[in-house]
């Protein structure tokens, strides 16, 4: 408390000196008044320093209170609109908002951080009271988001804990990438136990296809590498790291050809993404030395084509046996519910993570039907 009082005294003295200097130099009445006002602001801010956490918590609590639909004005700033995923997001968000008469504005930043900052500035000026974004540059947009947050706008960051760590968001929505990868690895371990019950420890060869191109994907990579801890029978014989590659699917196929030559006895492949798995599966299906019945590929991310591949695995026309997916394929639904306060973040972390679930031959038809109907 003494430190707080010292800072208070110093700030008041500094403000007083600034006021004296202005007066001594023949400052106008408006300048003098402005200096006095600033001194008052400094005093008010400094006095409440030790209470700042409580004030911040109360402010967030207020922002999390339900706002009537006719009072909501939601701004969505997306990285780009030249992307099928983002276009689908926009279409789904608009349907949800239009159905309830909620005002909104959605803009794409053309992959430019400068454009995104300008668009957010405009949204603040236009009076949005909720702001959701996927950042082109997380750090580059932090200042303008803090401005929005301080102005009382409820800021939702779509980049998970990376976005939340900037202090620029009230809430961050994302994916627990470790859990996302872990579910796929769990399926691989269960498949080993079911298909090779009598195998000796360390006898089932496993290859990993990772892509630790960002902090969040490093977490997914760590989860894929857990296979030896989940099954004592598993042994990782090669990790193919695709970080920094631009043509990912062709590179996966190149690595798959190498894998077939160097590790002909591989039985399990765990992939960073389902698109990786599909590229690898194509190579395995055309390799005469490979028996598809003996191999299981496990992936991360929902793709309808990936789900169809799982169905084909029943007759070994595909080696893709499972993939992990989020609780819904409609991300707009998740962000919309956060904006309307129908979904709330973890009160301790400020994060909202979607659940993760496995897709296997046992449930794939049911999940495909639910996705097609919009239920998932």
Q: pLDDT tens digits, residue range 39-68?
A: 433 333 333 333 334 444 447 888 999 999
| CA-wise closest residue to 167 among 197, 192, 147 | 147
> Side by side, which strands form the sheet with 268-271?
234-241, 204-210, 268-271, 296-300, 320-326, 356-360
Structure tokens that stand for 310 in this block: 């799982």
The structure tokens listed for 40 are 């008052």
Give the best-scoring range by mean pLDDT among 85-94, 239-248, 268-277: 268-277
Rg, Å, the chain Cα set: 27
User: What is Dmax (Cα atoms) for the chain?
Assistant: 94
Q: At which residue do the structure tokens 């039907």 appear?
A: 369
Paired with 108 in beta bridges are 78
Confidence band, pLDDT 50/70/90 cuts, at residue 16:
very low
Mean pLDDT of the chain: 85
Give the pLDDT mean for 314-333.
94
**pLDDT score for 295:** 98
Which three-class secondary structure state does DSSP give residue 348?
coil
Q: For CA atoms 229, 232, 235, 240, give the dihedral sign.
A: negative
**What integer is the mean pLDDT of 353-363?**
95
Which residue has better confidence, 87 or 360? 360
The pLDDT of residue 88 is 86
Looking at 43-47, 148-152, 256-260, which range is the least confident one? 43-47
Reduce the DSSP state of residue 1 to 3 states and report it: coil
The top-level CATH class assigned to 177-326 is: alpha beta
**DSSP collapsed to 3 states, 36-58:** HHHHHHHHHHHHCHHHHHHHHHH
Nearest to 276 by CA among 243, 299, 292: 299
- In the predicted structure, residue 198 carries a pLDDT above the cut 60: yes
Indicate if the pLDDT at residue 371 is higher than 70.
Answer: yes
Average pLDDT over residues 309-313: 98
- Asked whether the predicted pLDDT for residue 315 surpasses 60, the reply is yes
Report H helices in 25-169.
29-47, 52-63, 84-100, 113-126, 142-150, 160-164
Domain range 71-174, CATH architecture: 3-Layer(aba) Sandwich (3.40)
Whether the Cβ atoms of residue 166 and residue 345 lie closer than 8 Å to each other: no
The candidate with the shortest Cα–Cα distance to 221, out of 212, 234, 233, 232, is 212
Whole-structure pTM over 0.75, yes or no?
no
The residue among 368, 257, 212, 243 whose CA lies nearest residue 305 is 368
Q: What is the pLDDT of residue 48?
A: 33
* Residue showing tokens 């996927």: 134
User: Is residue 149 over pLDDT 80?
Assistant: yes
Q: How high is the pLDDT of residue 358?
A: 98
Confidence of residue 1 (pLDDT cuts 50, 70, 90): very low
Which of 74, 209, 54 is CA-nearest to residue 130?
Answer: 74
Tell me how far CA of residue 361 lies from CA of 184, 186, 306, 321, in angstroms.
Answer: 14, 15, 12, 7
pLDDT at 235: 98
pLDDT tens digit string along 110-123?
Answer: 889 999 999 999 99
What is the pLDDT at residue 328?
87
């Amino acid at each position: 408390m003494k430190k707080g009082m010292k800072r208070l005294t110093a700030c008041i003295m500094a403000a007083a000196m600034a006021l004296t200097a202005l007066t001594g130099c023949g400052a106008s009445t408006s300048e003098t008044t402005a200096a006095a006002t600033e001194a008052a602001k400094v005093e008010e801010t400094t006095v409440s320093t030790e209470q700042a956490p409580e004030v911040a918590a109360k402010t967030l609590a207020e922002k999390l209170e339900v706002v009537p639909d006719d009072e909501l004005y939601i701004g969505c700033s997306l990285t780009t609109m030249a992307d099928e995923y983002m276009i689908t997001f926009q279409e789904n968000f608009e349907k949800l908002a239009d159905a309830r008469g909620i005002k909104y504005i959605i803009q794409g930043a053309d992959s430019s951080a400068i454009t995104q900052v300008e668009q957010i500035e405009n949204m603040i000026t236009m009076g949005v009271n909720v702001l959701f974004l996927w950042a082109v540059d997380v750090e580059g947009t932090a200042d303008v988001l803090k401005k929005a947050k301080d102005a009382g706008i409820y800021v939702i960051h779509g980049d998970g804990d990376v976005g939340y760590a900037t202090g620029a968001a009230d809430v961050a929505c994302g994916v627990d990438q470790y859990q996302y990868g872990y579910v796929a690895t769990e399926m691989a371990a269960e498949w080993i136990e079911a298909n090779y019950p009598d195998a000796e420890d360390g006898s089932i060869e496993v290859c990993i296809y990772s892509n630790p191109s960002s902090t969040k994907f490093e977490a997914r990579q760590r989860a894929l590498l857990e296979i030896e801890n989940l099954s004592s029978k598993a042994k990782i014989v090669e990790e193919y790291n695709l970080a920094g590659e631009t043509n990912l699917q062709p590179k996966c196929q190149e690595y798959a050809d190498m894998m077939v030559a160097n590790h002909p006895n591989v039985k399990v492949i765990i992939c960073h993404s389902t698109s990786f798995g599909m590229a690898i599966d194509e190579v395995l299906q055309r390799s005469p030395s490979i028996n598809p019945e003996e191999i299981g590929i496990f992936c991360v991310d929902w793709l309808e084509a990936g789900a169809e591949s799982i169905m084909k695995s029943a007759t070994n026309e595909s080696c893709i046996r499972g993939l992990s997916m989020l609780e819904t394929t409609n991300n707009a639904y998740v962000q919309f519910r956060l904006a309307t306060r129908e979904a709330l973040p973890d009160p301790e972390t400020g994060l909202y993570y979607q659940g993760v679930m496995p897709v296997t031959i046992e449930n794939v038809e049911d999940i495909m039907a639910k996705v097609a109907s919009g239920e998932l």
